[in-house]
Copies of this chain bind each other. A is one copy, B any other.
Amino acid sequence: MARRHPQLDLDVQLCFPLYAATRAVTRRYAELLEDTGLTYPQYLTLLALWGGSPLTVGELGERLRLDSGTLTPLLKRLEAAGHVVRRRSVEDERRVLVEPTEQGWALRDEVAQVPHDLAGSIGIDADEAVLLGSLLGKVLTALDG
């Protein structure tokens, strides 16, 4: 393959590791989050809400780069679990405001160790992590604006 189609190496050298490493990291998060019952996307959603609430579904989607087709059911599950509340905006009834509940805020302390534990699992040091993050940031900017 490599001989007749050497360009396919890029996929093997970069795109596959990107794909596989992301899934591996997500699986590690699943372990670390098991006690809370949160999935990794749910955790990221709460992270965004802890950073400033309430947010509309659209604002959450901008930060997480997810559309309503993903967020609506995810937020309903977070609501069913008692972690967030959703309510229609009074000024503009098209908008839905999302905000952690008391219980949702309390989760923040429960997951405080997660990033540290993850950092110890991923096999690279802090400097490499910064470098990796900045390279990924460039990719994200190039593809997603």
Contact = CB atoms under 8 A, between A and B. Distances in A.
Contact-size category for A: 35 or more
A87 B50 CA distance: 52
Given A25-B18, A26-B19, A123-B142, A1 B50 contact: yes
B112 A7 contact: yes
Contacts of A14: 129-130, 132-133, 136
- How many copies, total? 2
Contacts of A113: 7
A140 B11 contact: no
A138 B9 CA distance: 18
Contacts of A50: 1, 5, 8
A52 B131 CA distance: 35
A128 B135 contact: yes
A108 interface: yes
A9 B26 CA distance: 17
